Amino acid sequence: MDIALVSSAADHAGDTDLPQLISAAEAAGHTARIAIWDDPNVDWSVFDVVAIRSCWDYTTRRDEFVSWCQSVGDHLVNSARVIEWNSDKIYLSDLADAGISIIPTIWDAKSMSDLGEHRSWVVKPTISSGSANTAHWTTAEAAAAHSNELLATGRHTMTQPYVASIDTVGEFANYFFSGEYSHTVRKPALLEADQTPAEAASFPGGLRVVEIDQTILEFSHEVIAVAERVTGERLIQARVDVVLDDAGQPMLMELELVEPALFIDFVPKAAETYIEAIAPI
């Protein structure tokens, strides 16, 4: 099979997964190359598989990106329908309505009275990645002000109580390829309280591969199953980000279906299983 591993002009050089995926594809008898999603000279019809990998600029050009996805056709991973649904974090409300436990979320908060009583809050745009324009606030006044600043620029917002377990056990990023569990990377706390949010995306340090308990694994499988029912689509690549509530029970922080970084440096075998999922023999 001919595989396009899709990135952006600004980001492909920094995506350390790409060379390893190319090698794994070649070892499996495929051909693979990096292609830039908004390059007008690329003929996407020549590829058997078009796998979105590191199009990290899509959050500032979402409508254009979704239109491109729709133009690619049915060999896009994941499908254009999934990308459109998942590229705005309002999808979390669909999953919550379907019974998935998410972090309690206030959409488009405008005043302190919207926020409820909590120790602190996280505010972010609903279209964002890599913690861009995201901040952790210890006062309702600051959280509401941040939400209003984003709303004033035409963006929608989400405000959530800060989950205390992130500071102790971290966040669990669980990877699935074609519904099969691959690996988990633990992310430590990223946001310092009461710091001006960064405009650009950033990636956490201190990552490590961990084993997860059965409760988190079963919850993650449930998230995948529900998302497939909601979208009516099969999910080829997925990252289920899980945190623990005050009782130690799993909650969904995010379901990343657009361009989940795989952190193959930590789990080299994942390159092979990823290629098997997107280009089955």
Domain of 76 in residue numbering reads as 2-86
Residue 227 lies in a domain: yes
Domain holding 18: CATH number? 3.40.50.20
pLDDT tens, position by position, 46-83: 999 999 999 999 999 999 999 999 999 999 999 999 99
pLDDT tens, position by position, 159-203: 999 999 999 999 999 999 999 999 999 999 988 999 988 775 556
Residue 281 lies in a domain: no
pLDDT tens, position by position, 44-54: 999 999 999 99
Distance CA 270, CA 20 (A): 10
How many CA atoms lie less than 13 Å away from 270 in the CB half-sphere?
Answer: 24
pLDDT of residue 281: 55
pLDDT tens, position by position, 231-245: 999 999 999 999 999
- Considering the domain architecture, whether residues 186 and 233 belong to the same structural domain is answered as yes
- Considering the domain architecture, whether residues 75 and 108 belong to the same structural domain is answered as no
C-alpha distances (whole Å) from 24 to each of 14, 29, 211 are: 19, 9, 24
Burial of 179 (0-12, 13-18, 19+ CB in 10 A): middle
Q: Which two tokens stand for residue 184?
A: 């988990």
Reduce the secondary structure of 160-190 to three states and give it as a string: EECCHHHHCCCEEEEEEECCEEEEEEEECCC
Is the per-residue pLDDT at 280 higher than 70?
yes
Q: What pTM does this model have?
A: 0.95
Residue 19 lies in a domain: yes
Residue 264 lies in a domain: no
